[in-house]
Structure 1
Amino acid sequence: MGPKPGQKTALITGCTPGGIGHALALEFHSRGLHVIATARNSSVLAEMAALGMSTLALDVTKADSIATCHAEVAKLTNGTLDILINNAGRTHTHPATDIDLDDVRETFETNVFGVMAMCAAFADQLIAARGLIINIASLAAVTPYVFGSVYCATKAAVVGYSRTLRLELKPFGVRVMVAMTGTVRSQIASKTHRTLPATSIYQRVRDLFERRLTFSQNNGTVKTEDFARQLVDSALRREAPLFLRSWFGRPDWFWAGGWARQVWLGSFLGEGVLDFALYRLMKLPKLETVLKKEAEQKKFK
C-alpha cells in the first residue's frame, strides 16, 4: 500500500527492530507520513508492514540493491520523496593500532559510502519534492572516542560530506540535516563482539576495552523512542531563516542523546577540553599507571 494523495513520504535505511531506524519509522508513521522502511532482510519488517508502512529490502553497500529500491520507491510515490533518513550504520570498536583494513573498508562501505550512494541515487526524487535529507552522524565525529578511531573517522566523513551536500542542493530546494547523535539505546553495540588481538599493546588494560564495547548503552543512554520523537519534532518544523533555524525552525544540526549537550558545549570551549574529558572518562590514566609500574620493574631486573 502506497501513500495517500498529498501524504508526505519518508524513506529510512536500517529499520531492524530495536534500533534508531525502527523507532524513527514508528514516530514518522504516528505523525501521518507514509514511511518506507528498509533493511537488508525485509522479513524483519513484517510488523511494520502490518501497520501500513511500505517495506523494502535494501543493502546500502550494493549498487544493484539501491537501484532496485529507487525504482520501487518511484512506483510508490510517483517519483518524489519528501524525506530520506540515512540511518543504516555499523559499529567499529578497536584500538587504532589493532585494525584490520578489510574490516575497516566494510565499516566505511556502510557508514560513509552507503550514505553517499543513497543521496546520489535519490537526489532526483528529493529535488522533485524539494525534500529533506537527514544523515545520522554521531558525537564521535567531533570527539576522540577512545578505541573507536575507525567509527569516529566514518562519522566525521559523514559530517564533512553533509556540509558540502547542503550547499550543493540548496539551489534545488533540498535541505540537509545532520543528527549529532549521543548515546542512544539501540542494537548497534551488540551486533559484532570484538576482541583484542593477543599481541595488542592494550592487553594490559583489556578491561577498559571490554567496558568500551558497550559504553554507549551504559552511559547517559537515552531511550530510543525519546530520541526519535525529538528528531522527528525537529525534522517537521517549518522553515526559518538561517540564523533562526536552531531555535525556531528545522535545524541544520540536531544534537540529542546522552552527552550531546556536554559535547556541544565542549566544542565551543576547544579541543583540549574534550581531549581532557574523554581521556579520563575512558580511564586511560590507568594505562599510564600500568606502564610506569612495568618500567620500574624493569629497572630492578
Structure 2
Amino acid sequence: MGPQPGQKTVLITGCTPGGIGHALCMEFHAKGVHVIATARNPTVLAEMAALGMTTLALDVTSEESIKTCHDAVSNLTGGKLDILVNNAGRTHTHPATDISIPDVRETFETNVFGVMAMCAAFSDLLITSKGLIINIASLAAITPYVFGAVYCASKGAVTSYSRTLRLELKPFGVRVMVAMTGTVRSQIASRTHRTLPEGSIYQRVKGLFEKRLTFSQNNATVDTKEYATKLVAKALAPEWPLLLRAWLGRPDWFWAGGWAGKVWLSTWFGEWLLDFVMYRMIGMKTLEGVLREEERAKKAV
C-alpha cells in the first residue's frame, strides 16, 4: 500500500531491526509519515510491512540496486520524495597500523560512497518535493576515537560532503541535515569484531582494544527509541530563518546520543580537549607505562 494523497514520504536505508534505522521507521510511521524501509535482505522487514510500511531491497553499494529502488519509489510516490535518511553504515574498529585496505574500501563503499550515490540518485525526487536529506554521521567525525581511525575518516567525509551538498541544493529548496550521533543502543555488541593481528604493536594492551570494541554500548549509551524520537521531531519541524532554525526548526546539525552535548561543548575550546579526554578514556596512558617498562627492561640487560 502506497502513501495516501498529501501524505509525506520518507525513505530510510539500513532498517534491520535493532538499529537506528528501524527505530526511525517506527517513529516516522507513528507520526503519520509513509515509510519506505529498506535493507539488503527485505525479509527482515516483515514486521514493518505488516504495519503498512513499504519495504524494498536496497544495497547502497550497488548502482543497479539503487536504480531499481529509485524507480520503485518514483512509481510509488508519483515522482517525489519528502525525506531521505542515509542511515546504512558499517562499523570499523581497528588500529590504523593494522588495517587491511580492502576492508577499508568496503567501509567507505557503505559509509561514504553509498551516501553520495543515494543523494545523487534520489535528488530528482527530492527536488520535486523540496525535500530534506538527513545524513547519519557520528561524533567520530570530529573526535579522535582511538582504534577507530577508518570509521572516523568515513564519518568525517560524510560531514564535509554534506556541508557542500547543502549549499549546492539550497537553490532547489532541498535541505541537508547532518546527524552528529553519539553513543546509541544498537546490535554492534553482538557482531563479529575485527581482531588484532599477531604482530600488532598493540598486542601489549590487547585488553584495551577488546574493551574498545563495545565502547559505544557501555558509555552514556542512549536508548535507540529516544534518539529516534528527537531526530524525527526535528525532521518534521517547520522551517525557520537560519539564525533560529537550530532551536526552533529543522537544524542543519542535529546533535544527540551519549556524549553529544559534551562533544559539542568541547568544540568551543579547541581540539586539544577531546584529544586529552579520549587518550585517557581509552587507556593510552596504560600503553605509555607498558612501553616505559619495556625500555627499563632493555637497559637493565
Aligning the two structures, in what range does the TM-score lie when normalised by the shorter sequence?
A: over 0.9
1:47 aligns to what? 47
**1:160 alignment partner AA:** S
Task: Tell me, yes or no, if the aligned pair for 1:90 and 1:188 is still in contact at 8 Å.
Answer: no
2:278 aligns to what? 278
| Structure-1 separation of matches of 2:105 and 2:117 | 15
| Structure-1 separation of matches of 2:83 and 2:12 | 8
Task: Tell me, yes or no, if the aligned pair for 2:11 and 2:83 is still in contact at 8 Å.
Answer: yes
Does residue 264 of structure 1 match 2:264? yes
1:144 aligns to what? 144
Structure 2 residue ranges without an equivalent (≥5): none
Identity %, equivalent residues? 73
2:97 aligns to what? 97
Match of 1:258, SS state, is coil
Task: Tell me, yes or no, if the aligned pair for 1:82 and 1:131 is still in contact at 8 Å.
Answer: yes
Structure 1 residue ranges without an equivalent (≥5): none
- 1:253-290: CA deviations, max 9, x gaps? 00000000000001111000110011011111000000
Alignment of 1:4-83 (within 5 A): 4-83=4-83
Task: Tell me, yes or no, if the aligned pair for 2:188 and 2:214 is still in contact at 8 Å.
Answer: no
| Structure-1 separation of matches of 2:297 and 2:24 | 55
1:235 aligns to what? 235
Shift of 1:190: 3.3
Match of 1:268, SS state, is coil
Does residue 296 of structure 1 match 2:286? no
1:153 aligns to what? 153
| Structure-2 separation of matches of 1:300 and 1:279 | 29
2:163 aligns to what? 163
| Structure-1 separation of matches of 2:256 and 2:202 | 31
Alignment of 1:84-123 (within 5 A): 84-123=84-123
- 1:165-216: CA deviations, max 9, x gaps? 0000000000000000000001234333110000000000000000000000
| Structure-2 separation of matches of 1:172 and 1:187 | 37
Match of 1:177, SS state, is strand
Q: Following superposition, which runs of at least 4 residues in structure 1 exceed 6 angstroms of deviation?
A: none
- 1:82-101: CA deviations, max 9, x gaps? 00000000000000000000
| Structure-2 separation of matches of 1:188 and 1:17 | 12
1:128 aligns to what? 128
Tell me the C-alpha RMSD between the 2 structures. Answer: 0.6
| Structure-2 separation of matches of 1:56 and 1:177 | 24
Task: Tell me, yes or no, if the aligned pair for 2:139 and 2:181 is still in contact at 8 Å.
Answer: yes
**2:215 alignment partner AA:** F
Change (3 A) 1:189 1:158: farther
Shift of 1:225: 0.2
TM-score scaled by structure 1? 0.99
Task: Tell me, yes or no, if the aligned pair for 1:11 and 1:37 is still in contact at 8 Å.
Answer: yes
1:178 aligns to what? 178
Match of 1:35, SS state, is strand
| Structure-2 separation of matches of 1:181 and 1:166 | 19
2:200 aligns to what? 200
TM-score scaled by structure 2? 0.99
Q: How many pairs align?
A: 301
| Structure-1 separation of matches of 2:191 and 2:170 | 37
Task: Tell me, yes or no, if the aligned pair for 1:186 and 1:224 is still in contact at 8 Å.
Answer: yes
